[in-house]
Amino acid sequence: MLVGGSLAQALEMNSNPQGRLFIFLLNTIFFQAMALVFIVVFLHYNKLRWKDAFGFENGDARKWLPLSAGTFLLVLPAVWVLGWLSARLIEMAGDKPQLQFTVQVLQTRPPLGETLLMAGVTIFLAPVVEELLFRGIIYPTVKQLGYPKTAFFGTAFLFAIFHLNLMTLFPLFVLALVLTWLYEITDNLLAPIVVHALFNAANCITLLWQTEFGEFFNKLLKLLPV
């Protein structure tokens, strides 16, 4: 996974706009597709069914869905603030914050087909695969070996560094801790999957319509009494 991400980052350095989709697909194949293959093999080897391995039928959806929604509303602004602070710290250290590749592309408002593909993978595929792998397999495996704290913090750190971006390292670490906590108290992997998907969707929407949001808030500020 790290090799795939690093290769995509290396290709990005010398890519032209026509190569953006290739880089994105390359990164997707190296991580999402290979991770899915690993998950299927893992479940087959351990003779586990999906619903049993990840608790898809555990708990009452009328309880964990509102909890997931509330968690999302709390964690989203917190992670955004942490991202802003991380960027400022990087600037204070004399370096320039680098955005993730997908973020850079979505900020440029690419063609509709490219936008839909990236948004679809980011909102629907990535949260499912990443939660299955990090929270669904790695976390409980390490925990069952007798290292609950290592599982809790180590899985979160692995999740953060996998995205290969210094600016998002600490924000994603905090997000991962929250997602793991949510999985612990609900015992249903659908809960962190929902929060992860909503988080990615909010970021995509913000990136695609950041100009409109900026104009709206500027107009709103002008209406306020001085």
User: pLDDT tens digits for 129-182?
Assistant: 999 999 999 999 999 999 999 999 999 999 999 887 889 999 999 999 999 999
* Number of structural domains in the chain: 1
The reply to whether 159 falls in a domain is yes
Residue 208: per-residue pLDDT:
81
Which residues, other chains included, contact 76 with Cβ-Cβ below 8 Å and sequence gap of 6+? 198, 199, 202
CA–CA separation, 222 vs 1, rounded Å? Answer: 48
6-24 residue pLDDT tens: 665 565 555 555 566 777 7
The reply to whether 4 falls in a domain is no
The reply to whether 22 falls in a domain is no
CA–CA separation, 51 vs 38, rounded Å? Answer: 17
- Side-chain-side CA neighbours of 160 within 13 Å: the count stands at 23
Give the C-alpha distances (Å, rounded to integers) separating 3 from 29, 31, 150.
Answer: 12, 10, 24
- The domain in which residue 171 lies consists of 56-223
CA–CA separation, 47 vs 58, rounded Å? Answer: 19
**For the chain, how far is it from start to end, CA to CA, in angstroms?**
53
The reply to whether 25 falls in a domain is no
The reply to whether 187 falls in a domain is yes
The reply to whether 16 falls in a domain is no
